Amino acid sequence: MAAMKEVRFIQADVFTDRAFSGNPLAIIPEDVGLTTEEMQAIAREMNLSETTFVLPADDPSAAFRLRIFTPTAELPLAGHPVVGACFVLAQRGRLKLEEGANRIFQQCGAGVLPVDIHVRKGEIVRVYMTQARPQFLKSTMNRALLAPAVGLEEDRLLPDGLPAQVVSTAIPQLMVPAQGLKDLEQIQPDFGAMRKVFQALDTNCLMIFTRQTIHANSTVHARMFAPFLGVPEDPATGSASGALGAYLVRHGVMEARPTAHLIVEQGYEMGRPSTIYVEVDGGADGPTQVRVGGQAVEVGEGILKF
């Protein structure tokens, strides 16, 4: 009989400072020689939007390497796995940190990227990840294509002449502006119609947002759907929030002189309120760099045996 494997995991809620809100994340903090197939099976078993595996880095400039899986696919980069894993590793003393701002580098499918960990009075207060340089891909003003995917009337979408556009900071994700909070509350996603949108625009993710917010200090309120990656709806999406920040700067909704600061609120319709901090640096040719940050809180740990 083959020896049984034991894999320790930590579960944390990310983009929040309270348990049972934010976006749940499973972290496998140690390299135990898992195959890609075993990692994917574990992510499917955990059944969270993402599971991340902490591995030794191939690049000597990186502190570690992260592999990130949804229940159905591996991703080159994702926000809440990077922020959550770095927050937990820092809290557990796995990273050498000093008071104030600390920069480390993490390696993932998108390359070696910096992470900034802010420490105040010995406590981890916020972690920011840098995403890949934003790319602006296909766009559309076709409300008739978009409206059935989210179950809204056509006139509730694309206000102020803003287009729906795919933006990538490592993952191509569709940004769809909507009129107001009530519209986002009333969304009834149709995944068949959403598949048509994805096929037309070469993406697997749709973030719909409004500039009308619940909290006065928030910039936008958002919901994100990626059903064909195993995530029917995500309560907090760092990669999409970074892409959204770049979109808002690109289309003149926000100015980056030199940096735009925004707060994305997400997850409220799922009962998991989340707060995502986004910074977008601007240059002569538009957005140049995107950083996404937040907090995390551990909620449990255990051992998988197989």
219-248 exposure pattern, b = at least 16 Cβ within 10 A, e = fewer: bbbbbbbbbbbbbebbbbbbbbbbbbbbbb
Residue 114 · residue 104 · CB < 8 Å:
yes
Which of 50, 233, 265, 279 is an active site residue? 50
For the question of residue 50 being annotated catalytic, the response is yes
CA-nearest of 152, 159, 153, 59 to 109 is 59
The rounded distance, in Å, linking the Cα atoms of 234 and 92 is 27
Q: How many degrees, rounded to 5, is the angle at CA 214 between CA 210 and CA 215? A: 115
Distant-in-sequence, close-in-space partners of 199: CB < 8 Å, separation ≥ 6:
none
Q: What Å distances lie between residue 239 and 34, 58, 182, 254, 282, CA to CA?
A: 26, 23, 25, 18, 18
Secondary structure of residue 258 in the 3-state scheme: coil
Residues assigned a catalytic role: 50
